[in-house]
Amino acid sequence: MATTSCRVLVVDDEKDTAQTLACLLVGMGHEATFLTDPQQVFETTERVKPHLVFLDIGMPGWMDGRSQSCYEGSIRGEGQLRLVAISGHGAPEHHARSRQAGFDAHIMKPLAVDLIESIIKQLAPPC
């Protein structure tokens, strides 16, 4: 169980994945919002003001190697928002690309509960 409650945004084009992770986060004591449409990310980030975003970087029409850092900068803005790349790819070069684009962590699907807990403890600001 979380000792602090953070606002978390989950973005994944697979509804079941997004909803399941959001429910898990709520069960951990956090506020969680999920999206399946990458076109809503910027608007929702502005409205929800999450502390942490779990973002599927393999969504159709979302990111490629050239645009990843542009999106990352736009989502993060000026605040303390932390970004976690979620991907089906976990080779060292995929982790490196996420880091170079400004993501704070890169995790692979399927997501493990203990990994999610660890990421939140490591990255979430005092909420």
Cα separation values, 122 from 36, 118, 125, Å: 26, 6, 9
Residue 3 and residue 90: Cα distance in Å, rounded?
30
Structural domains in the chain, sorted by start: 7-122 (3.40.50.2300)
Tokens 């992770």 correspond to 21
- Amino acid identity at 84: V
pLDDT at 98: 85
Q: What is the pLDDT of residue 77?
A: 59
What are the pLDDT digits (tens) for 23-78? 999 999 999 999 998 888 889 998 999 999 999 988 876 654 444 554 555 565 55
CA-nearest of 46, 61, 47, 54 to 23 is 54
pTM of the model: 0.84
pLDDT digits (tens, 9 = 90+) for 83-120: 999 988 878 887 888 888 888 999 998 889 999 999 99
